[in-house]
Amino acid sequence: MTEKSRIIEIFTSIQGEGPYIGVKQLFIRFCGCNLKCDYCDTQNISNEFYLEFTPEELKKHIEEFNLKSLHSISLTGGEPLLWSDFLLEFLPLLKDSFKGKIYLETNSTLKNNLEKIINYVNIISADIKLPSASGIENSFAEHDEFFKVARKYDKEIFAKIVFDENILDIEISHCLKLATKYNLALILQPKTIDGNISPDKEKILEVFNKFLISHPDTRVIPQVHKFLGVR
């Protein structure tokens, strides 16, 4: 039997990032992550406070929400793909009660775990991590492997890149190579710290233009939920 999942919180709110900004989602925030980004706002709490669910228990809990009002269910974290064995049992249980989309928010480093559950996912919001903004080691090779798996399936996928004023040209070059190779829509998300966007507007435009030179399918979208004051 699959171990129980550890979940930090389950709540409905407005998606505040990326091209689906503004839609209503049910967020399932899973515990734990294989990375340790400097700007992470869940890492510190996720190992201490969590609820445990079997797949059946989570299905019953989810069905207490008004599922018809939702655009999608967001699997978020932490890193939800750490729970791929659990998700492989849980997601098929939803097929009768939830007709919307399954939206996966991932750090895009766990390709084998993605492949286990990708048939149950509709939209993939895939991070490309920049060492200059996240403080973690270069993970472009892992992202490459991840996108290779994702592109074997007919799934909607876009890449989200959190950046600040320290972004390097070599990082932009790595992102553009991945975007071209895997035909990815790119979302540039200026880093927000304590409610303030950290790169100034000149830097944001400079970075935006560097991406646009070779990848027109690029957008700048800040985290809107923080301005709205919602989770």
| Contacting positions for ligand SF4 (CB under 6 A) | 33, 35-37, 40, 42-43, 77-79, 107
For residue 45, the one-letter residue type is I
Residue 168 and residue 203 in contact, taking contact as beta carbons nearer than 8 Å: no
Strands 5-14 and 24-30: antiparallel
Shortest CB 33 distance to ligand SF4, Å: 3
Q: What's the start-to-end Cα distance of the chain, in Å? A: 33
C-alpha to C-alpha distances, 122 to 107, 187, 213, nearest whole angstrom: 17, 18, 30
Which CB sits closer to ligand SF4, 41 or 96? 41
Shortest CB 93 distance to ligand SF4, Å: 25
Which CB sits closer to ligand SF4, 72 or 189? 189
Shortest CB 35 distance to ligand SF4, Å: 4
Which DSSP string corresponds to 103-150?
Answer: EEEE-S--HHHHHHHGGG-SEEEEE---HHHH-SPP-HHHHHHHHHHH
Shortest CB 119 distance to ligand SF4, Å: 23
Query: In this structure, what is the dihedral angle of CA atoms 9, 14, 18, 20, given to the nearest 10 degrees?
Result: 120
Which CB sits closer to ligand SF4, 160 or 174? 160
Number of residues written out for the chain: 231
Which CB sits closer to ligand SF4, 33 or 102? 33
Which CB sits closer to ligand SF4, 42 or 189? 42
Shortest CB 57 distance to ligand SF4, Å: 24
Residue 33 and residue 107 in contact, taking contact as beta carbons nearer than 8 Å: yes
